[in-house]
Amino acid sequence: MIVTTSPDVPGKKIVNTLGLAKGNTIRARHVGKDIIAIFKNLVGGEIMEYTKLMAESREQAIDRMKEDAISQGANAIISVNITTSMISQGAAEIMAFGTAVVVEDN
């Protein structure tokens, strides 16, 4: 599966546009990780526990977007975007979306 933020795929032509492909996940913080983050806030620096949580969430949303595109018959997703929004105190949604397309070699 080709996944790109650009509106086309170099060396390929779009032969069919299938529609929106999307995937999301909602993740909540973990109490143990929050305690570590509080100490990290006191001394400064990157909060690796949250960085890892968000990276895993992005990958899961992208994987779900790919599954959605495959179910539509796509072999590529163009114009991909990733957004995040706070659902509640301590929980965030990550959404990945793009246009599911069928591409062929030029």
Whether residue 4 is predicted with pLDDT greater than 60 in this model: the reply is yes
> Which amino acid, residue 26?
I
pLDDT tens for each residue of 51-96: 888 899 999 999 999 999 999 999 999 999 999 998 887 788 999 9
> Strand locations in 1-106, DSSP E?
2-3, 12-28, 76-88, 91-105
Comparison of pLDDT for 22 and 85, the residue scoring more:
22
> Which amino acid, residue 55?
A
Predicted local confidence at residue 42, as pLDDT: 64
Residue 95's closest CA among 77, 86, 80, 83? 83
> Domains (ranges, CATH) in the chain?
2-105 (3.30.110.70)
Cα 100 to its chain centre, rounded Å, is: 15
Q: Which two tokens stand for residue 37?
A: 């983050």
| CA–CA gap between residue 99 and residue 90 (Å, rounded) | 30
Q: Which residues contact 18 (CB under 8 A, 6 or more apart)?
A: 69, 72, 73, 74, 99, 100, 101, 102
- The number of residues making up the chain comes to 106
pTM for this model (two decimals) = 0.85
| CA–CA gap between residue 52 and residue 97 (Å, rounded) | 21
Predicted local confidence at residue 79, as pLDDT: 98
